[in-house]
Amino acid sequence: MPELPEVETVRRHLQVSLPTRRIAEVELMREDLRYPIPVDAVHALVGATFTAVRRRAKYLLCDLTVAGQPDRVMLVHLGMSGRLFIDPHAPTEWRKHEHWRMRLTPDLWLRYVDPRRFGALDVLEKSEEVTHPLLGTLGPEPLDAAFTAQHLMAVCKGRQQALKIVLMDQKHVVGIGNIYASESLWRARVHPLRPAQTLKLREAKALVAASRAVLQEAIVAGGSTLKDFVGGDEAPGYFQQRLDVYGRGDAPCHACGGLVEHVVLGGRATYFCGVCQV
């Protein structure tokens, strides 16, 4: 599933290509993905001009101006396997699992492919972002100043849940998905299965710093391509070449040489070193 670095990689590519482009045509192959698509509102974007592409958690927010109307935001979520990319060539046919596309002026196509159909497409007014059901309950961004050791200690207080589950809860902090949670906990030398309430302040400081470092490095590397992720230019990411524990079950730990362990936690694969992480 695309996590924060992958979505940020897509955002950065789209931010180069989309602003000042006008939507000339919208084509939809279906009326729903994970949620119903507001078909009329999407088609009403014809004539609108992109002004910026932002990211909130794992959501892409494309700002648009529409003459004589309130500014619009096109919300896109990539789901488990979605791809949103720029195509400089006029498509002759629909790609397999392609669900919508937009012709932009001058000639350029914005296309969305999603084999599992777990993604989302919505249109809202900019003023509605804070109350939107997909955005309104999100926690702070892990790369923002609001994500501090004190914040992490507060959300862990009194919680018996495993620390990794709390770290991945989007209400507490957004965008730290399964891959990067395992990597961050390893760097901070904190065991993922520990009850969250046992976290100490010095460990929280280490975990916040590790999370930021892992995410920033992954963004620079263009994200991680473990299955089918590609960026906005359809190029793969390369951070998977630097993973210390994720996907390395029974391989030597890069720090101590012991074997990396693998368990399923909350339905998600979790990797850690039982020697380094306490």
Q: Could you report the per-residue pLDDT of 146-177, keeping only the tens digit for each? A: 999 999 999 999 999 999 999 999 999 998 98
Domain range enclosing 195:
149-273
In this structure, the answer to whether residues 110 and 169 fall within a common structural domain is: no
Quick check: is 141 in a domain? no
Number of structural domains the chain divides into: 2
* Residues 187/244, Cβ–Cβ less than 8 Å: yes
pLDDT, tens digit (0-9, with 9 covering 90-100), for 13-63: 999 999 999 999 999 999 999 999 999 999 999 999 999 999 999 999 999
Instruction: Give the separation between CA 48 and CA 18, rounded to whole angstroms.
Output: 12
Q: List active site positions.
A: 2-3, 58, 268
In this structure, the answer to whether residues 17 and 47 fall within a common structural domain is: yes
In this structure, the answer to whether residues 15 and 96 fall within a common structural domain is: yes
Instruction: Give the separation between CA 59 and CA 147, rounded to whole angstroms.
Output: 18
* Residues 83/56, Cβ–Cβ less than 8 Å: no
In this structure, the answer to whether residues 127 and 161 fall within a common structural domain is: no
CATH number for position 66: 3.20.190.10
Decide which of 103, 131, 159 is a domain's last residue: 131
pTM for this predicted structure: 0.90
In this structure, the answer to whether residues 80 and 24 fall within a common structural domain is: yes
In this structure, the answer to whether residues 62 and 126 fall within a common structural domain is: yes
In this structure, the answer to whether residues 37 and 86 fall within a common structural domain is: yes
In this structure, the answer to whether residues 118 and 191 fall within a common structural domain is: no
